[in-house]
Amino acid sequence: MKQYQQHQQYIEEAEQLLLHTYNRYQIVLERGEDVYLYDINGKKYLDFCAGIAVFALGYGNTEYKEALKSQIDKLIHTSNYFYNLPAISAAKKLTKVSGMDKVFFTNSGAEAIEGAIKAARKYAFEKDKREDHEIIAMERSFHGRTMGALSVTGNYKYREAFGPMIGNIRFALMNDWEDLESKVTERTCAILLETVQGEGGIYPAEKEFLQKIRQLCDERDILLILDEIQCGMGRCGTMFAYQEYGILPDILTTAKALGCGVPVGAFLMNQKTAEGSLKAGDHGTTYGGNPLACAAVDKVLDLFEENHIIENVAKTGAYLARRLDELVDKYDFITARRGKGLMQGLVFEMPVRGVIEKAMEKGLIIINAGECILRFVPPLVITQEHVDVMISILEDCFRECIAERDQV
Ligand SMILES: *Cc1c(COP(=O)(O)O)cnc(C)c1O
């Protein structure tokens, strides 16, 4: 009882002090181990959220922690007036696994999007010296909360009250080629999309749609920007999701799992874009690419390879999809599954907040993507056994939901 009161006290204190921009779940987390989280009362949770697709390696990976500790002892920050070794090493590995040529490290996903927007506008400016270029983004997209990123986010709910946006953004329907084509004009400088839409409800781009965009961009010298902040870094079964589509973007944004918990993002570009866009003085950041963040990226990329993360996503992702498909067949209130690898969504006929709260009571952390979609973005080291435990907890929750429904 005392423990519980203390827990409540912390929550009340947090609500007094932290700006209330989130309706948080009533859990105070304290530590993590493997694929489990523990709250301050010692209650254990199986984690299918991974800090929103961040903690790909799970919690408490010793090599990862040691790499960070040793970098802390050496040097945490230098500013970008100087070079540092972790940034060079991380950039070498990141360009190799992505097929891109140049990297700019940021501190978050939204900042990576800001950089991508600036690079695209500058690229077009260099060609015709005009400042009225347009960007096509997708309906239902999510690119972050800063003003530029918000301006390309195709969900009015997030933009309302914050206008005016940056301007000259046109929204097209995801996977609707005709609609997209109708939005292209002489002024279009970039087409921006998530290879697999995350927050919007786990909608993968269709192969033909993305390939046609690539072709259009090539023909008209429009830049293709792929936001893989959520769907990249192995989550969909390839290092970056576009690799399964047989195409490359001109600009790539990444973050979330890139540092596995240390705040870091990046935008990357091919040589053509780098040569034609941002030059010395055009963009900057105080923290971005600092040795601590880059030591994290560097070690994460090593560990992905050593621990065969991609192979595990392919195997366990396929298993997760199969188990979720069974749920679609079994329960009348679940209508579909969508996703790739370990980025899956289950579509419900009703809001899923109740299911999520029940799951948390039973020791499973799971989140939504939109009101009626349950989102599965576990650590990428998850196994089939963890999937089975998760499914069985979910089914317990469903049984309770059904009992409650039948009562009324
Ligand atoms: C989370 C996310 C962002 C924003 O990243 P932040 O680090 O929260 O700024 C942008 N794009 C996508 C696809 C995301 O999932």
Return the closest-CA partner of residue 175 out of 154, 158, 157: 154
Structure token pair of residue 64: 């990862």
109 lines ligand 1 (CB under 6 A): yes
- The residue nearest atom 5 of ligand 1, judged by CA position, is 109
- The residue nearest atom 6 of ligand 1, judged by CA position, is 109
pTM for this predicted structure: 0.98
Helices and strands, number each (H, E), in the chain: 14, 17
CA–centroid distance, 261 to ligand 1, in Å, is 14
Strand partners, 68: none
CA–centroid distance, 224 to ligand 1, in Å, is 18
Cα separation, 239 vs 341, in Å, equals 11
- Residue 199 alpha carbon, nearest atom of ligand 1: 15
250 lines ligand 1 (CB under 6 A): no
Please state, for a pLDDT cut of 90, what percent of the chain lies above it: 97
User: pLDDT confidence of 60, banded at 50, 70, 90?
Assistant: confident
State how far the alpha carbon of 290 is from the alpha carbons of 52, 76, 81, 156, 273, in Å: 23, 7, 11, 35, 24
300 lines ligand 1 (CB under 6 A): no
- pLDDT of 240 > 80? The answer is yes
pLDDT value for 5: 85
Query: Could you read off the pLDDT of 181-202 as tens digits, one per residue?
Result: 999 999 999 999 999 999 999 9
227 lines ligand 1 (CB under 6 A): yes
CA–centroid distance, 155 to ligand 1, in Å, is 14
- Residue 110 alpha carbon, nearest atom of ligand 1: 9
Q: Average of pLDDT values for 352-373?
A: 97
Q: Which residues contact 253 (CB under 8 A, 6 or more apart)?
A: 109, 112, 113, 115, 116, 225, 226, 227, 228, 229, 265, 266, 267, 268
pLDDT value for 387: 98
60 close to 32: Cβ distance less than 8 angstroms: yes
CA–centroid distance, 149 to ligand 1, in Å, is 9
- Residue 145 alpha carbon, nearest atom of ligand 1: 9
User: pLDDT confidence of 38, banded at 50, 70, 90?
Assistant: very high
What are the CB-based long-range contacts (under 8 Å, 24+) for 239-243? Answer: 239/97, 239/98, 239/304, 239/310, 240/97, 240/98, 240/99, 240/195, 241/195, 241/196, 241/204, 241/340, 242/195, 242/210, 243/99
Specify the pairing of strand 36-39 against strand 44-47: antiparallel
- pLDDT of 330 > 80? The answer is yes
State how far the alpha carbon of 403 is from the alpha carbons of 144, 324, 363, 365, 407, in Å: 39, 21, 20, 22, 6
pLDDT value for 139: 98
Structure token pair of residue 117: 């927007």
- The residue nearest atom 10 of ligand 1, judged by CA position, is 143
CA–centroid distance, 199 to ligand 1, in Å, is 9
228 lines ligand 1 (CB under 6 A): no
Residue among 143, 145, 155, 236 to mutate when testing ligand 1 (max atoms within 8 A of CB):
143
194 lines ligand 1 (CB under 6 A): yes
229 lines ligand 1 (CB under 6 A): yes
- Residue 228 alpha carbon, nearest atom of ligand 1: 13
Residue among 22, 52, 256 to mutate when testing ligand 1 (max atoms within 8 A of CB):
256
- pLDDT of 3 > 80? The answer is no
Query: Could you read off the pLDDT of 342-357 as tens digits, one per residue?
Result: 999 999 999 999 999 9
CA–centroid distance, 110 to ligand 1, in Å, is 6
**Which H helix or E strand runs over 11?**
helix 2-17
Structure token pair of residue 57: 């390696």
Query: Could you read off the pLDDT of 251-310 as tens digits, one per residue?
Result: 999 999 999 999 999 999 999 999 999 999 999 999 999 999 999 999 999 999 999 999
- The residue nearest atom 7 of ligand 1, judged by CA position, is 109
Query: Could you read off the pLDDT of 74-111 as tens digits, one per residue?
Result: 999 999 999 999 999 999 999 999 999 999 999 999 99
- pLDDT of 22 > 80? The answer is yes
226 close to 330: Cβ distance less than 8 angstroms: no
- pLDDT of 124 > 80? The answer is yes
Sorted by where each starts, the structural domains of the chain and their CATH numbers stand as: 2-57+308-407 (3.90.1150.10), 62-306 (3.40.640.10)
pLDDT value for 266: 98
- Residue 52 alpha carbon, nearest atom of ligand 1: 1
pLDDT value for 122: 98
- Residue 265 alpha carbon, nearest atom of ligand 1: 7
Q: How many CA atoms lie within 13 A of 306 on its CB side?
A: 10
- pLDDT of 2 > 80? The answer is no
Measured over the CA atoms of residue 135, residue 256, residue 234 and residue 46, the dihedral's sign is negative
Structure token pair of residue 330: 């079994």
171 lines ligand 1 (CB under 6 A): no
